[in-house]
């Protein structure tokens, strides 16, 4: 068995799993929790997701 550990990177911001709180695995890559949080806020701001009131 190979003992070499692969360091995964966020495919959005490029930071490694050591630089972010959490890395979520997708089909062909990873996204870090900070990017997910950023995207979530972006989707809420644009009315795609509920939770935030749209800007007047
Ligand atoms: Zn990221």
Output the CA 36–ligand 1 centroid distance in Å: 7
32 falls within a domain: yes
- How many folded domains does the chain comprise? 1
Element (H, E) at 44: helix 33-45
* Residues of the domain holding 39: 20-48
Output the CA 38–ligand 1 centroid distance in Å: 9
56 falls within a domain: no
29 falls within a domain: yes
Mean pLDDT by 10 residues, the chain (56 residues): 83 96 94 95 89 60
Output the CA 18–ligand 1 centroid distance in Å: 12
Output the CA 1–ligand 1 centroid distance in Å: 30
pLDDT score recorded for residue 5: 82
Handedness of CA 46, 52, 29, 26 (dihedral sign): negative
55 falls within a domain: no
1 falls within a domain: no
């Amino acid at each position: 068995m190979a003992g070499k550990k692969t360091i995964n990177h966020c495919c959005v911001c490029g930071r490694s799993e050591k630089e972010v709180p959490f890395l979520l695995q997708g089909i062909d890559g990873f996204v870090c929790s900070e990017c997910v949080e950023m995207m979530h806020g972006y989707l809420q701001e644009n009315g795609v997701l509920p939770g935030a009131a749209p800007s007047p």
